[in-house]
Structure formats: structure tokens, C-alpha cells
Amino acid sequence: MRSSLRFLIPLALASLSIKSVAAHELGPHVHGVASLQVAVDGNILTLDFSGPLDNLLGFEHAPRDDKQKAAVKNMVETLHHTDGVFAPSPAANCTSVSVKLESSVLEAKLTSSNDGHADIDGEYVFRCGHPENLHGLELKLFDSFHNLHQVEAQVAGPHTQTAARLSPAQRNLSW
């Protein structure tokens, strides 16, 4: 078990690409709260998700045992399975183009004794066959990540600028 996990985690991490954090407008690091920037540009939908790692993992230090290593791996797999994370308007026929995750826990920058805080950022890009039908997004990730209680969302598109506070009880963002 131990050796197979050691083998699998680098494989999962190898598929991640690193992106700049400069564009992220992180608010205060509040556990349970995350931000989501939604950009609609033609047939391309880009989602930038950002918040405390605790929201998705339950801890913010390097994994200390096999159980925590498995939790990291499970989080990465869950976040890459876009159908269970973000669901654009079905009629828009959007398909996932790329998922990029960035967190110090994924880059082995955290130490197991780290008692500070850490964040995770995810960039999701979709291409939509019928962008004229794209009017919203369901945040299905509330189903998988029960430490996540609130998402501050902002939407920027050619004809729309809106903001909304989403939660497990109000998981649909409309524009």
C-alpha cells in the first residue's frame, strides 16, 4: 500500500501544470470560504477557484502518513473530474479543455510540521458548443468538499458583470 501510493501520487502530480498566482486576488484566508472568478469570452468559459487548502483537504501541511497522502491524491482526482466539480448550463454543451491546480501541498513545499496556512488554486477552462445558451453554473464541488461553506463568485462576460455568494444550499450561479 505504502509503495503503491508513493508511485501513484507522483504520477498524479506529474499531470499538473503550474500557473502564476499573480492574477489571483486572494481575500483573507478564512477557512470555509473560497472565491470563484468566472470569465466568459466567446465560446470559452474560464473558472478560477481559489481558497484555503483546508476547505478541500482538511489540513494545510504536508501529508504525514499514508492516510493523508491518500487524501491529497483523492482531492486531486476529484478536482480533475470536472463533471463533479463545476457544471455549466447543460444546453451550452461545454466540455472541459484543461484543469490546472496549484498548491504548495502539490509541489512538496510544505513540511509535515508546517503549522501555517496554505491555499489551493484551480483554473478550469471549458469550450462551449452553444455559448449562447450559457447562462449559469452549478457548483457541484459542495457535494465532495464538506468543509467548504461559502464561495464568493464574480462573473465577467461581454454582456454581464455580476457577483453572488454561493453555499451548499445555494449552489447555482446565474448570469
Binding site for Zn ion (CB under 5 A): 52, 54, 60, 117
Could you say which DSSP state residue 170 is in?
Answer: B
In this structure, the dihedral spanned by the alpha carbons of residues 7, 104, 44 and 156, taken in order and rounded to 10 degrees, is: 160
Q: How far is the CB of 63 from Zn ion (least distance, A)?
A: 16
Q: Which residue is nearest to Zn ion (CB)?
A: 117
Residues 68 and 29: their CA atoms lie apart, in Å, by 22
Closer Cβ to Zn ion, 60 or 121, answer by number = 60
Find cell 447562462 and name the residue: 135
According to DSSP, residue 30 is labeled -
| Closest approach of Zn ion to the CB of residue 71, in Å | 16
Q: What is the closest distance, in whole angstroms, from the C-beta atom of residue 19 to Zn ion in the complex? A: 21
**Shortest Cβ 36–Zn ion spacing (Å):** 18
Of residues 31 and 135, the one with the C-beta less far from Zn ion: 31
Q: What is the residue-wise DSSP string for 69-109?
A: HHHHHHHHHHHH-GGGTEEE-GGG-EEEEEEEEEETTTTT-
Nearer to Zn ion, 55 or 82 (CB): 55
Cα separation, 130 vs 87, whole angstroms? 14
Nearer to Zn ion (CB atom), residue 115 or residue 132: 115
Contact 35, 50 (CB under 8 A): yes
Residue among 33 and 44 whose Cβ is closer to Zn ion: 33
Smallest distance from the beta carbon of 52 to Zn ion, in angstroms? 4
